[in-house]
């Protein structure tokens, strides 16, 4: 099995076909460069630390804009350069299940299926790099080390999908919200940011559809966490984690 075939097999098992922080991304990396001799030729990215930098092109999307819809022909993959994207699936009864919130460096559309398996919409004004699938295939053929790294990241996403199933199926509302806030904090900390103040640009209904709760339950739970002095809700879509240890205990069911 080729490396990119293996990636496809793993991606189709996950919740499906997106990667959180799949690859290092340098803010000033160039994009949109020509492929020179064509897609089949060896690819020489401008920045070796960011093999995807020379592929495709970037576009700025306004907030609440659809990037692609579940069922659309899947001819490209996408990488978030800035901002936030929500991914969701519609259930047969019309309810929405948000399966992830993607930020800078995250990738979507990776399931290598004929059609996209979920809908992607921007939460905020967002810059997104669109990479034709043929260009990504050529890059993986030309750089096996990059392909292996992508496969490793896909495997990690399968584990994250399993964690999400536990979150939805077994935790209480307070445990779910605490886990969600800590995940955002850990993600920001991994980017060398302050892990006590997190961005919360999505609405309460988005959080509810992600955690399998009602909007009212999310609002009540955040109010309780605020009253317990575990969090402080700030203006501008931000939130302070006042007691990470207590939140971690709550998330773990202690």
What pLDDT score was predicted for residue 173? 94
What pLDDT score was predicted for residue 127? 97
The overall longest dimension of the chain from CA atoms, in Å, is 62
What pLDDT score was predicted for residue 167? 63
Q: Is the pTM of this model over 0.85?
A: no
What pLDDT score was predicted for residue 40? 37
What architecture does CATH give domain 171-251? Orthogonal Bundle (1.10)
Mind giving me the DSSP string for 123-158? SSSEEEEEEEHHHHHHHHHH-HHHHHHHHHHHHHHH
What pLDDT score was predicted for residue 14? 39
User: What are the domain boundaries of the chain?
Assistant: 3-32+44-166, 171-251
What pLDDT score was predicted for residue 51? 86
Residue 229: other Cβ atoms inside 10 A:
10
Q: Residue 138, class by beta-carbon neighbours within 10 Å (0-12 exposed, 13-18 middle, 19+ buried)?
A: buried
Q: Do domains 3-32+44-166 and 171-251 have the same CATH topology?
A: no
Q: What are the mean pLDDT values of the chain's consecutive 10-residue runs (254 residues total)?
A: 48 50 49 38 53 92 96 92 93 90 88 84 97 92 87 64 67 93 83 74 96 96 97 93 95 81
93-122 burial, b at 16+ Cβ within 10 Å, e below that, comes to: eeeeebbbbbbbbbbbbbbbeeebbbbbbb
3-32+44-166: which CATH topology? Jelly Rolls (2.60.120)
What pLDDT score was predicted for residue 27? 45
């Amino acid at each position: 099995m080729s490396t990119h075939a293996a990636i496809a097999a793993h991606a189709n098992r996950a919740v499906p076909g997106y990667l959180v922080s799949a690859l290092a991304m340098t803010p000033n990396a160039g994009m949109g460069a020509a492929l020179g001799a064509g897609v089949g030729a060896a690819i020489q990215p401008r920045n070796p630390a960011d093999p995807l930098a020379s592929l495709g092109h970037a576009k700025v999307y306004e907030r609440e804009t659809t990037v692609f819809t579940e069922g659309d022909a899947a001819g490209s993959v996408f990488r978030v350069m800035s901002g936030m994207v929500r991914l969701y699936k519609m259930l047969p009864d019309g309810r929405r299940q948000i399966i992830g919130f993607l930020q800078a460096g995250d990738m979507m559309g990776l399931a290598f299926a004929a059609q996209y398996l979920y809908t992607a919409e921007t939460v905020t004004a967002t810059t997104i790099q669109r990479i034709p699938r043929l260009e990504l295939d050529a890059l993986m053929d030309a750089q096996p080390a990059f392909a292996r790294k992508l496969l490793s990241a896909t495997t990690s996403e399968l584990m994250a999908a399993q964690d999400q199933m536990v979150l939805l199926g077994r935790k209480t509302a307070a445990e779910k919200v605490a886990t969600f806030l800590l995940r955002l904090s850990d993600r920001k900390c991994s980017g060398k940011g302050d892990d006590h103040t997190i961005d919360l640009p999505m609405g309460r209904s988005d959080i509810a559809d992600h955690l399998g709760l009602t909007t009212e339950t999310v609002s009540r739970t955040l109010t309780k966490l605020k009253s317990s002095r575990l969090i402080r809700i700030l203006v501008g879509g931000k939130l302070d984690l006042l007691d990470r240890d207590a939140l971690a205990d709550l998330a773990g069911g202690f």
